[in-house]
């Protein structure tokens, strides 16, 4: 939702810079440099995110579940050489 609002505001900013009424901007042609650069950067960011998730075979959700498991199995015992972490399957 936030990226969509930001992109819409950039379109409005480009319209104001081009001295076009933002309400009537959809019917007029005007230069949109900030809008176009942002759309391209947003698309590249999404593609890079998907590529990294595919390459590492992990999504962001799995990092959250891993953190929750580590918090759940955490003990308040001081660390010593005999204490070992429980065997947690993160897959």
User: Taking 70 as the threshold, does the pLDDT of residue 85 lie above it?
Assistant: no
Domain boundaries, the chain: 2-57
State the pLDDT at residue 2: 76
Integer Cα distance of 88 and 72 in angstroms: 11
- What residue ranges in 1-91 does DSSP mark as E strands? none
Q: Does the model's pTM come out above 0.75?
A: no
Comparison of pLDDT for 90 and 32, the residue scoring more:
32
Instruction: Classify each residue of 53-87 as buried b or exposed e, where b means 16 or more C-beta atoms within 10 Å of its C-beta.
Output: eeeeeeeeeeeeeeeeeeeeeeeeeeeeeeeeeee
User: Taking 80 as the threshold, does the pLDDT of residue 76 lie above it?
Assistant: no
């Amino acid at each position: 939702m936030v990226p969509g609002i930001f992109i819409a505001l950039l379109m409005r900013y480009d319209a104001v810079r081009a001295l076009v009424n933002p309400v009537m901007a959809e019917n007029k042609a005007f230069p949109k440099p900030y809008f176009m650069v942002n759309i391209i950067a947003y698309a590249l960011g999404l593609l890079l995110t998907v590529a990294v998730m595919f390459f590492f075979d992990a999504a962001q959700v799995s990092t959250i579940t891993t953190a929750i498991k580590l918090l759940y199995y955490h003990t308040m015992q001081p660390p010593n050489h005999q204490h070992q972490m429980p065997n947690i399957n993160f897959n």
